[in-house]
Amino acid sequence: MKYYKEYGLAIEGLTRHHKIDPLAFNREVDDALPLDEILKPNPQLRRLLEDIDRSQVRLWLLTNAYVTHAKRVVRLLEVDDLFEGVTYCDYSQTPLVCKPSQVMYDKAEREAGASSSGECYFVDDSGSNCKHAAERGWAVAHLVEPGVPAPPEPASQFQISSLEELRTCFPHLFKSRA
């Protein structure tokens, strides 16, 4: 947990301080997880994402996971076809660049084709990631799931406990309010 809090990603600390190979870590840990036993298709998430008006925004993943893990998760949730791309922490690069580094947010803007920070909408369950995205001008919703303590100070403009609340936070991005 120390490395996650300090670097935004546990593997960053393991790489820096213990010379762990991040690609080997991904292969032996993330890619070895029995996610197909844990993650199931999520029709409610799919409906929410399908209701986003694509003439207003592009759906783009931004994750600290390696690309194989990120793609596996969205495939198992059966929402992979709804995203136009993914910006991920490239474990083959040194140093690792991940959220909440501004370099990672720059990379996401560039890869997603955003012409300015003000065009970006972001949802994350990390208060630190939300705080840093909001500081650069992104519209941000911090997902604090039920049972997880809320931060003492809000990390962003919106704090939500369910992704469905995005319809209220950003109503202009949805085709309907169903």
Give the tens place of pLDDT for each residue, 88-119. 999 999 888 999 999 999 999 999 999 999 99
What is residue 1's predicted lDDT score, i.e. its pLDDT?
64
Q: Is the pLDDT of residue 7 over 80?
A: no
N- to C-terminal Cα distance for the chain?
39
Taking 60 as the threshold, does the pLDDT of residue 177 lie above it? no
Q: What is the pTM of this model?
A: 0.88
pLDDT of 81 higher than 70 = yes
Which sign does the torsion angle of CA 131, 134, 138, 139 carry?
A: positive
pLDDT higher than 80, residue 121 = yes
Question: Is residue 7 within 8 Å of residue 1, measured between CB atoms?
Answer: no
Beta bridge partners of 85: 60
Least confident of 9-18, 63-72, 126-135: 9-18
Neighbours of 5 (CB within 10 A): 11
- For domain 40-173, say whether CATH 3.40.50.720 is its number: no
Peptide bond into 149 cis (omega under 30): no
Task: Using alpha carbons, select from 137, 129, 144 the residue that is nearest to residue 87.
Answer: 129
**Whether the Cβ atoms of residue 88 and residue 65 lie closer than 8 Å to each other:** yes
Residues 133-161 have a mean pLDDT of 96
10: helix, strand or coil: helix
pLDDT for 14-53, tens place per residue?
777 777 787 887 788 777 888 999 999 999 999 999 999 9
Confidence (pLDDT) at 8? 61
pLDDT at 155 over 80: yes
Yes or no: say if 12 and 96 are a contact pair by the CB < 8 Å rule.
yes
pLDDT, residue 23, reads 80
pLDDT at 38: 94
Domain segments of the chain as ranges: 40-173
